[in-house]
Amino acid sequence: MPKSLAPHIGIYGRTNNGKSTLINKLTGQSVAIVSEQAGTTTDPVKKSIEIFGIGPVILIDTAGIDDTSELGKQRVEKTYQTLKEIDCAILILSDNHFGDPEAELVNRFIEFAIPYIVVHNKADNWPLDVSLDYYLETQYHVKAIDFSARYDDPQPIIEALKKAIPESAYKKASMLGGIVKPNDVVVLVTPIDAEAPEGRLILPQVMAIRDALDNDCICVVLKETNLQQYFDTMPHPDLVVTDSQAFAMVSKIVPETVPLTSFSILLARLRGDFENYLKGTPHLSQLKDGDKILMLESCTHEISCGDIGRVKLPNLIRKFTGKNIQFDYVAGLSPINNINQYAMAIQCGGCVATRKQLLNRTNLAVKAGIPISNYGMAIAYMTGVFARATKLYNSKF
Protein backbone atom coordinates (compact mmCIF):
# COMPACT_ATOMS: atom_id res chain seq x y z
CA MET A 1 0.00 0.00 0.00
CA PRO A 2 1.51 3.41 -0.97
CA LYS A 3 2.35 5.54 2.06
CA SER A 4 -0.19 8.24 1.22
CA LEU A 5 -3.00 5.65 1.06
CA ALA A 6 -2.31 4.07 4.45
CA PRO A 7 -4.55 5.04 7.39
CA HIS A 8 -3.41 8.34 8.92
CA ILE A 9 -3.28 8.54 12.73
CA GLY A 10 -2.84 11.97 14.33
CA ILE A 11 -1.12 12.37 17.72
CA TYR A 12 -2.47 15.38 19.67
CA GLY A 13 -1.99 16.97 23.08
CA ARG A 14 -0.32 19.71 25.02
CA THR A 15 3.38 20.50 24.79
CA ASN A 16 5.52 18.00 26.70
CA ASN A 17 2.69 15.51 27.19
CA GLY A 18 4.85 12.88 25.51
CA LYS A 19 3.49 12.80 21.95
CA SER A 20 6.91 12.27 20.37
CA THR A 21 7.88 9.76 23.06
CA LEU A 22 4.75 7.74 22.30
CA ILE A 23 5.54 7.73 18.58
CA ASN A 24 9.01 6.41 19.33
CA LYS A 25 7.46 3.74 21.52
CA LEU A 26 4.96 2.68 18.85
CA THR A 27 7.61 2.57 16.13
CA GLY A 28 10.35 1.07 18.28
CA GLN A 29 12.69 3.72 16.87
CA SER A 30 13.90 7.20 17.75
CA VAL A 31 12.05 8.85 14.88
CA ALA A 32 10.69 11.87 16.76
CA ILE A 33 12.79 14.40 18.68
CA VAL A 34 12.17 14.19 22.42
CA SER A 35 13.09 17.09 24.70
CA GLU A 36 12.05 18.60 28.01
CA GLN A 37 11.94 21.97 26.26
CA ALA A 38 8.40 22.92 25.27
CA GLY A 39 7.63 23.36 21.58
CA THR A 40 10.18 20.87 20.23
CA THR A 41 7.67 19.70 17.63
CA THR A 42 6.70 22.66 15.42
CA ASP A 43 5.15 21.58 12.11
CA PRO A 44 3.31 18.25 11.80
CA VAL A 45 5.74 15.40 11.10
CA LYS A 46 4.73 12.12 9.41
CA LYS A 47 6.21 8.68 9.99
CA SER A 48 5.24 5.43 8.27
CA ILE A 49 5.08 2.29 10.43
CA GLU A 50 3.50 -1.17 10.35
CA ILE A 51 0.92 -2.17 12.98
CA PHE A 52 0.16 -5.87 13.16
CA GLY A 53 -3.50 -6.45 12.38
CA ILE A 54 -3.84 -3.14 10.55
CA GLY A 55 -0.82 -2.96 8.26
CA PRO A 56 1.01 0.20 7.16
CA VAL A 57 -0.12 3.42 8.88
CA ILE A 58 1.06 7.02 8.86
CA LEU A 59 1.61 8.56 12.31
CA ILE A 60 1.40 12.37 12.40
CA ASP A 61 3.23 14.07 15.26
CA THR A 62 1.75 17.54 15.91
CA ALA A 63 2.65 20.68 17.84
CA GLY A 64 1.26 21.27 21.32
CA ILE A 65 -2.29 22.61 21.42
CA ASP A 66 -1.63 24.88 24.41
CA ASP A 67 0.97 27.20 22.84
CA THR A 68 -0.54 30.70 23.09
CA SER A 69 2.39 32.68 21.66
CA GLU A 70 1.93 34.37 18.27
CA LEU A 71 4.08 31.73 16.57
CA GLY A 72 2.40 29.06 18.67
CA LYS A 73 -1.03 30.05 17.37
CA GLN A 74 0.21 29.37 13.83
CA ARG A 75 1.54 25.98 14.92
CA VAL A 76 -1.79 25.12 16.56
CA GLU A 77 -3.62 26.08 13.37
CA LYS A 78 -1.38 23.70 11.40
CA THR A 79 -2.20 21.03 13.97
CA TYR A 80 -5.93 21.59 13.40
CA GLN A 81 -5.43 21.40 9.64
CA THR A 82 -4.25 17.79 9.96
CA LEU A 83 -7.77 16.83 11.10
CA LYS A 84 -8.85 16.94 7.45
CA GLU A 85 -6.56 14.07 6.51
CA ILE A 86 -6.58 11.65 9.44
CA ASP A 87 -8.61 8.47 9.89
CA CYS A 88 -8.09 8.19 13.66
CA ALA A 89 -6.71 10.33 16.49
CA ILE A 90 -4.82 9.78 19.73
CA LEU A 91 -5.36 12.48 22.35
CA ILE A 92 -2.54 12.41 24.91
CA LEU A 93 -3.10 13.77 28.40
CA SER A 94 -0.71 13.91 31.34
CA ASP A 95 -0.84 14.96 35.00
CA ASN A 96 -4.65 14.59 34.88
CA HIS A 97 -5.04 17.82 32.90
CA PHE A 98 -8.13 18.06 30.70
CA GLY A 99 -9.15 21.63 29.94
CA ASP A 100 -10.31 23.89 27.14
CA PRO A 101 -7.59 22.87 24.62
CA GLU A 102 -8.51 19.18 25.00
CA ALA A 103 -12.25 19.88 24.90
CA GLU A 104 -11.76 21.92 21.71
CA LEU A 105 -9.86 19.05 20.11
CA VAL A 106 -12.47 16.46 21.05
CA ASN A 107 -15.24 18.69 19.68
CA ARG A 108 -13.33 18.90 16.41
CA PHE A 109 -12.89 15.13 16.36
CA ILE A 110 -16.67 14.84 16.66
CA GLU A 111 -17.26 17.54 14.01
CA PHE A 112 -15.05 15.69 11.50
CA ALA A 113 -16.41 12.26 12.55
CA ILE A 114 -12.91 11.14 13.54
CA PRO A 115 -12.71 8.11 15.85
CA TYR A 116 -10.26 8.71 18.68
CA ILE A 117 -8.69 7.18 21.74
CA VAL A 118 -7.40 8.93 24.87
CA VAL A 119 -4.06 8.05 26.46
CA HIS A 120 -3.13 9.39 29.91
CA ASN A 121 0.65 9.41 29.65
CA LYS A 122 3.37 9.61 32.32
CA ALA A 123 1.44 7.29 34.61
CA ASP A 124 4.75 6.50 36.33
CA ASN A 125 4.77 10.09 37.65
CA TRP A 126 1.06 10.74 38.10
CA PRO A 127 -1.51 7.94 37.60
CA LEU A 128 -4.93 8.63 36.07
CA ASP A 129 -7.25 10.16 38.65
CA VAL A 130 -10.57 8.39 39.26
CA SER A 131 -12.50 11.65 38.83
CA LEU A 132 -10.97 12.37 35.41
CA ASP A 133 -11.56 8.78 34.34
CA TYR A 134 -15.22 9.10 35.36
CA TYR A 135 -15.57 12.49 33.61
CA LEU A 136 -14.22 11.18 30.30
CA GLU A 137 -16.50 8.15 30.42
CA THR A 138 -19.66 10.09 31.28
CA GLN A 139 -19.02 13.20 29.18
CA TYR A 140 -17.36 11.68 26.09
CA HIS A 141 -18.02 7.93 26.40
CA VAL A 142 -14.32 7.17 26.11
CA LYS A 143 -12.12 5.10 28.41
CA ALA A 144 -8.67 6.59 28.92
CA ILE A 145 -5.63 4.29 28.79
CA ASP A 146 -3.32 4.92 31.74
CA PHE A 147 0.17 4.58 30.30
CA SER A 148 3.85 5.32 30.69
CA ALA A 149 5.60 5.83 27.36
CA ARG A 150 8.91 5.29 29.13
CA TYR A 151 8.11 1.94 30.73
CA ASP A 152 4.89 0.32 29.50
CA ASP A 153 4.26 -2.01 26.58
CA PRO A 154 2.27 -0.11 23.89
CA GLN A 155 0.10 -3.15 23.06
CA PRO A 156 -3.04 -1.78 24.84
CA ILE A 157 -2.81 1.35 22.65
CA ILE A 158 -2.31 -0.73 19.52
CA GLU A 159 -5.35 -2.86 20.39
CA ALA A 160 -7.43 0.27 20.97
CA LEU A 161 -6.32 1.67 17.60
CA LYS A 162 -7.28 -1.56 15.86
CA LYS A 163 -10.79 -1.17 17.23
CA ALA A 164 -11.02 2.57 16.52
CA ILE A 165 -9.71 2.80 12.95
CA PRO A 166 -12.57 2.27 10.47
CA GLU A 167 -12.08 -0.88 8.42
CA SER A 168 -12.71 1.17 5.30
CA ALA A 169 -9.44 3.01 6.01
CA TYR A 170 -7.25 -0.08 5.73
CA LYS A 171 -9.27 -2.87 4.14
CA LYS A 172 -8.43 -3.13 0.45
CA ALA A 173 -11.35 -1.99 -1.68
CA SER A 174 -11.75 -3.08 -5.30
CA MET A 175 -11.87 -0.75 -8.29
CA LEU A 176 -13.67 -3.37 -10.39
CA GLY A 177 -15.59 -5.16 -7.65
CA GLY A 178 -19.19 -5.78 -8.65
CA ILE A 179 -18.44 -4.83 -12.25
CA VAL A 180 -16.47 -7.83 -13.44
CA LYS A 181 -16.50 -11.56 -12.71
CA PRO A 182 -13.80 -14.25 -12.94
CA ASN A 183 -12.51 -14.96 -16.47
CA ASP A 184 -13.89 -11.70 -17.89
CA VAL A 185 -11.60 -10.11 -20.48
CA VAL A 186 -10.71 -6.54 -19.50
CA VAL A 187 -8.93 -4.33 -22.06
CA LEU A 188 -6.97 -1.43 -20.56
CA VAL A 189 -6.18 1.36 -23.01
CA THR A 190 -3.05 3.18 -21.81
CA PRO A 191 -1.78 5.99 -24.06
CA ILE A 192 1.95 6.65 -23.91
CA ASP A 193 2.29 10.41 -24.41
CA ALA A 194 4.02 13.42 -22.86
CA GLU A 195 2.02 12.99 -19.65
CA ALA A 196 3.05 9.35 -19.18
CA PRO A 197 5.94 8.99 -16.71
CA GLU A 198 9.20 7.83 -18.25
CA GLY A 199 9.50 4.04 -18.20
CA ARG A 200 6.35 3.34 -16.19
CA LEU A 201 2.57 3.63 -16.07
CA ILE A 202 0.56 6.09 -14.00
CA LEU A 203 -0.73 4.80 -10.66
CA PRO A 204 -4.44 4.37 -11.63
CA GLN A 205 -3.39 2.19 -14.56
CA VAL A 206 -1.19 0.03 -12.35
CA MET A 207 -4.01 -0.21 -9.78
CA ALA A 208 -6.49 -1.29 -12.46
CA ILE A 209 -4.16 -3.99 -13.78
CA ARG A 210 -3.65 -5.41 -10.29
CA ASP A 211 -7.35 -5.17 -9.49
CA ALA A 212 -8.31 -7.01 -12.68
CA LEU A 213 -5.89 -9.78 -11.75
CA ASP A 214 -7.21 -9.87 -8.17
CA ASN A 215 -10.69 -10.38 -9.63
CA ASP A 216 -9.36 -13.31 -11.73
CA CYS A 217 -9.89 -11.48 -15.01
CA ILE A 218 -7.92 -11.84 -18.23
CA CYS A 219 -6.12 -8.53 -18.52
CA VAL A 220 -5.10 -7.03 -21.90
CA VAL A 221 -3.02 -3.83 -21.87
CA LEU A 222 -2.51 -1.88 -25.09
CA LYS A 223 -2.05 1.61 -26.52
CA GLU A 224 -4.96 3.43 -28.13
CA THR A 225 -3.24 3.06 -31.51
CA ASN A 226 -3.59 -0.75 -31.25
CA LEU A 227 -7.22 -0.81 -30.14
CA GLN A 228 -8.78 -1.03 -33.62
CA GLN A 229 -6.51 -3.95 -34.52
CA TYR A 230 -7.57 -5.73 -31.34
CA PHE A 231 -11.28 -5.42 -32.20
CA ASP A 232 -10.61 -6.46 -35.79
CA THR A 233 -8.84 -9.66 -34.78
CA MET A 234 -10.06 -10.70 -31.32
CA PRO A 235 -13.40 -11.58 -29.69
CA HIS A 236 -15.07 -8.65 -27.98
CA PRO A 237 -13.93 -8.12 -24.36
CA ASP A 238 -16.26 -7.82 -21.36
CA LEU A 239 -15.02 -4.36 -20.43
CA VAL A 240 -12.81 -1.60 -21.84
CA VAL A 241 -11.12 0.90 -19.52
CA THR A 242 -9.41 3.88 -21.13
CA ASP A 243 -7.47 6.95 -20.18
CA SER A 244 -10.07 9.74 -20.08
CA GLN A 245 -8.18 11.86 -22.61
CA ALA A 246 -8.68 9.11 -25.23
CA PHE A 247 -12.46 8.84 -24.68
CA ALA A 248 -13.40 10.45 -27.99
CA MET A 249 -11.23 8.11 -30.07
CA VAL A 250 -11.85 4.96 -28.04
CA SER A 251 -15.64 5.36 -27.91
CA LYS A 252 -15.76 5.34 -31.72
CA ILE A 253 -13.87 2.04 -31.87
CA VAL A 254 -15.54 0.16 -29.00
CA PRO A 255 -19.01 -1.14 -29.99
CA GLU A 256 -21.95 0.12 -27.93
CA THR A 257 -22.54 -3.42 -26.73
CA VAL A 258 -19.18 -3.43 -24.88
CA PRO A 259 -19.11 -1.58 -21.52
CA LEU A 260 -16.71 1.36 -21.52
CA THR A 261 -15.33 3.50 -18.69
CA SER A 262 -12.10 5.22 -17.63
CA PHE A 263 -9.38 4.84 -15.02
CA SER A 264 -10.37 8.16 -13.47
CA ILE A 265 -14.02 7.16 -13.14
CA LEU A 266 -13.06 3.82 -11.60
CA LEU A 267 -10.92 5.71 -9.11
CA ALA A 268 -13.76 8.14 -8.40
CA ARG A 269 -16.02 5.20 -7.57
CA LEU A 270 -13.36 3.74 -5.29
CA ARG A 271 -12.42 6.87 -3.33
CA GLY A 272 -14.48 9.92 -4.22
CA ASP A 273 -18.00 11.23 -3.65
CA PHE A 274 -19.25 9.28 -6.64
CA GLU A 275 -22.95 10.07 -6.32
CA ASN A 276 -22.35 13.83 -6.12
CA TYR A 277 -19.91 13.60 -9.04
CA LEU A 278 -22.73 12.02 -11.09
CA LYS A 279 -25.17 14.74 -10.07
CA GLY A 280 -22.76 17.63 -10.48
CA THR A 281 -21.09 16.84 -13.80
CA PRO A 282 -24.00 17.96 -16.05
CA HIS A 283 -23.66 21.44 -14.55
CA LEU A 284 -20.93 21.95 -17.15
CA SER A 285 -23.75 22.75 -19.58
CA GLN A 286 -25.04 25.55 -17.33
CA LEU A 287 -21.84 27.55 -16.90
CA LYS A 288 -21.95 31.27 -17.73
CA ASP A 289 -19.45 33.93 -18.78
CA GLY A 290 -17.24 34.90 -15.87
CA ASP A 291 -17.93 31.77 -13.81
CA LYS A 292 -15.00 30.44 -11.80
CA ILE A 293 -14.16 26.75 -11.47
CA LEU A 294 -12.00 25.38 -8.66
CA MET A 295 -9.63 22.65 -9.88
CA LEU A 296 -8.65 20.35 -7.02
CA GLU A 297 -5.34 18.54 -7.46
CA SER A 298 -4.35 15.97 -4.85
CA CYS A 299 -0.64 16.10 -5.63
CA THR A 300 1.92 18.74 -6.48
CA HIS A 301 3.72 18.25 -9.78
CA GLU A 302 5.64 20.02 -12.50
CA ILE A 303 3.33 21.85 -14.91
CA SER A 304 3.75 21.07 -18.62
CA CYS A 305 2.04 22.17 -21.82
CA GLY A 306 0.18 18.85 -21.81
CA ASP A 307 -1.01 19.10 -18.19
CA ILE A 308 -4.51 17.66 -17.95
CA GLY A 309 -5.79 19.75 -15.04
CA ARG A 310 -4.11 23.05 -15.83
CA VAL A 311 -4.12 23.10 -19.62
CA LYS A 312 -6.13 20.44 -21.46
CA LEU A 313 -9.24 20.32 -19.28
CA PRO A 314 -9.64 24.12 -18.95
CA ASN A 315 -9.25 24.48 -22.72
CA LEU A 316 -11.83 21.75 -23.29
CA ILE A 317 -14.29 23.40 -20.89
CA ARG A 318 -13.94 26.79 -22.58
CA LYS A 319 -14.42 25.19 -26.00
CA PHE A 320 -17.40 23.09 -24.85
CA THR A 321 -19.22 25.96 -23.13
CA GLY A 322 -18.17 28.75 -25.46
CA LYS A 323 -17.86 30.87 -22.31
CA ASN A 324 -15.07 32.85 -20.68
CA ILE A 325 -14.51 30.56 -17.70
CA GLN A 326 -11.90 31.37 -15.05
CA PHE A 327 -9.95 28.70 -13.15
CA ASP A 328 -8.28 28.56 -9.76
CA TYR A 329 -6.05 25.67 -8.69
CA VAL A 330 -5.45 24.16 -5.25
CA ALA A 331 -2.79 21.46 -5.02
CA GLY A 332 -2.00 18.92 -2.35
CA LEU A 333 -3.86 19.51 0.92
CA SER A 334 -3.64 23.30 0.79
CA PRO A 335 -6.60 25.12 2.39
CA ILE A 336 -9.49 26.26 0.21
CA ASN A 337 -10.47 29.90 0.63
CA ASN A 338 -13.92 31.39 -0.04
CA ILE A 339 -15.52 28.31 -1.61
CA ASN A 340 -18.70 30.26 -2.39
CA GLN A 341 -17.01 32.22 -5.18
CA TYR A 342 -16.98 29.13 -7.42
CA ALA A 343 -19.68 27.91 -9.80
CA MET A 344 -18.23 24.40 -9.78
CA ALA A 345 -15.39 22.29 -8.38
CA ILE A 346 -13.60 19.54 -10.31
CA GLN A 347 -11.44 17.01 -8.44
CA CYS A 348 -8.59 15.07 -10.00
CA GLY A 349 -8.59 11.27 -9.81
CA GLY A 350 -6.95 11.41 -6.39
CA CYS A 351 -4.57 8.53 -7.00
CA VAL A 352 -2.23 9.68 -4.18
CA ALA A 353 -4.95 10.64 -1.70
CA THR A 354 -7.06 8.68 0.74
CA ARG A 355 -10.84 8.56 0.54
CA LYS A 356 -11.02 10.60 3.75
CA GLN A 357 -8.84 13.34 2.28
CA LEU A 358 -10.86 13.51 -0.94
CA LEU A 359 -14.22 13.62 0.84
CA ASN A 360 -13.07 16.34 3.23
CA ARG A 361 -12.05 18.47 0.25
CA THR A 362 -15.14 18.01 -1.90
CA ASN A 363 -17.51 18.19 1.10
CA LEU A 364 -16.72 21.89 1.38
CA ALA A 365 -18.32 22.40 -2.03
CA VAL A 366 -21.18 19.96 -1.41
CA LYS A 367 -22.16 21.69 1.85
CA ALA A 368 -22.11 25.04 0.03
CA GLY A 369 -24.41 23.67 -2.70
CA ILE A 370 -21.68 23.88 -5.36
CA PRO A 371 -21.74 21.12 -8.05
CA ILE A 372 -18.70 18.83 -8.11
CA SER A 373 -17.22 16.55 -10.75
CA ASN A 374 -13.95 14.79 -11.39
CA TYR A 375 -11.54 14.93 -14.32
CA GLY A 376 -12.70 11.69 -15.97
CA MET A 377 -16.41 12.40 -15.66
CA ALA A 378 -16.00 15.95 -16.94
CA ILE A 379 -14.12 14.74 -20.01
CA ALA A 380 -16.67 11.97 -20.60
CA TYR A 381 -19.51 14.49 -20.43
CA MET A 382 -17.91 16.95 -22.84
CA THR A 383 -17.01 14.21 -25.34
CA GLY A 384 -20.57 12.88 -25.35
CA VAL A 385 -19.92 9.55 -23.62
CA PHE A 386 -20.93 10.38 -20.03
CA ALA A 387 -24.08 8.24 -20.00
CA ARG A 388 -22.23 5.31 -21.52
CA ALA A 389 -19.14 5.64 -19.30
CA THR A 390 -21.23 5.65 -16.10
CA LYS A 391 -23.98 3.21 -17.13
CA LEU A 392 -22.28 0.13 -15.66
CA TYR A 393 -22.14 1.76 -12.21
CA ASN A 394 -25.92 2.00 -11.81
CA SER A 395 -26.75 0.60 -8.33
CA LYS A 396 -23.10 -0.49 -7.90
CA PHE A 397 -21.65 2.32 -5.80
Q: Using one digit for the tens of pLDDT, what is the confidence trace for 42-82?
A: 567 888 887 776 778 889 999 889 877 777 778 888 899 89
Q: Using one digit for the tens of pLDDT, what is the confidence trace for 381-391?
A: 999 999 999 99
Give the domain extent around 245: 185-266
Residues 84 and 195 grouped into a single domain: no
Residues 164 and 189 grouped into a single domain: no
Collapsing DSSP states into helix, strand and coil, what is residue 45? strand
Question: Please, what sign has the CA dihedral across residues 87, 44, 332, 113?
Answer: positive
Collapsing DSSP states into helix, strand and coil, what is residue 146? strand
Residues 258 and 289 grouped into a single domain: no
This prediction's pTM: 0.73
Neighbours of 193 (CB within 10 A): 11
Collapsing DSSP states into helix, strand and coil, what is residue 189? strand
Residues 43 and 78 grouped into a single domain: yes
- The count of structural domains within the chain is 3
Q: Residue 299, Cα to own-chain centre: how many angstroms?
A: 11
Q: Is 177 inside any structural domain?
A: no
Residues 146 and 29 grouped into a single domain: yes
Q: Using one digit for the tens of pLDDT, what is the confidence trace for 186-223?
A: 999 998 865 656 677 888 899 999 999 999 999 999 99
Residues 146 and 288 grouped into a single domain: no
Position 368 pLDDT exceeds 50: yes
Q: Is 151 inside any structural domain?
A: yes
Q: Using one digit for the tens of pLDDT, what is the confidence trace for 293-349?
A: 999 987 654 444 458 888 999 999 999 999 999 999 998 767 788 999 999 999 998
Judging by beta carbons within 10 Å of its beta carbon (0-12, 13-18, 19+), is residue 29 exposed, middle or buried? exposed
Residues 132 and 248 grouped into a single domain: no
Neighbours of 293 (CB within 10 A): 24
Q: Using one digit for the tens of pLDDT, what is the confidence trace for 127-139?
A: 999 999 999 999 9
280: CATH:
3.40.50.11410
